[in-house]
Amino acid sequence: MPLNLEPNFHEPGKHYLHGFSPGDEFYELLIKMHRPLSEAESIKVNARLILLLANHIGDLSVLREAMTIATQCATQE
């Protein structure tokens, strides 16, 4: 399966009235998680989070594709 770049946030059993709601909820969780952290702690937490999620995805071809897109964005800066 290729990397999914379409909106994909959801929660089993939960019904959303607006298309933006689950994504906004994820974003809020992310920002709230970082709120009490120092910048150095945030960097470490981000690293752990990437590792956890990468393992969950597992498929190296998907991860490779995500890495490519993420670094492409950076080189455009």
Partner 1 sequence: MLKTYTYPKFEYRRPEDLDCTTVRRHPVLIVGAGPVGLALAIELRLKKLSVIVIDEDNTVSVGSRGVCYAKRTLEILDRLGVGDRVVEKGVAWNVGRTFFHEDEVYRFDLVTDPDHERPGMLNLQQYYLEEYLVERAQAVGVELRFKQQVLSVDAHEEGATLEVQSPDGRYQISTDWLIAADGARSPIRRALHLDVEGHVFQDRFLIADVLMKAGFPPQRWFWFDPPFHPNQSVLLHRQADDVWRIDFQLGWEADPEVEKQPDRVIPRIRAMLGAEHEFELEWISVYTFQCRRMAQFRHGRVLFVGDSAHQVSPFGARGANSGIQDADNIGWKLDLVLRGAAPQTLLDTYHEERAYAADENLLNSTRSTDFITPKSPISRVFRNAVLELAEHHAFAQRLVNSGRLSVPACYTHSRLNTPDLDAFAGHLTPGTPADDAPLPDGSWLLRQLAGGFTLLYFVDPGRRVDAEIAALTALVDDDISINLVLVAAIGAARSRYDAHHGTLYLLRPDQHVAARWRQMDLTRIRAAVRRACDLH
Question: Token pair of 23, please?
Answer: 């994504």
Residues 4 to 63: which contact partner 1 by CB under 8 A? 4-8, 17-20, 23-24, 26-28, 30-31, 34-35, 37, 39, 42, 46
Residues recorded for the chain: 77
Tell me which amino acid residue 26 is: F
Neighbours of 31 (CB within 10 A): 9
67 binds partner 1 (CB under 8 A): no
Interacting residue ranges for partner 1, rule: CB under 8 A: 4-8, 17-20, 23-24, 26-28, 30-31, 34-35, 37, 39, 42, 46, 69, 73, 76-77
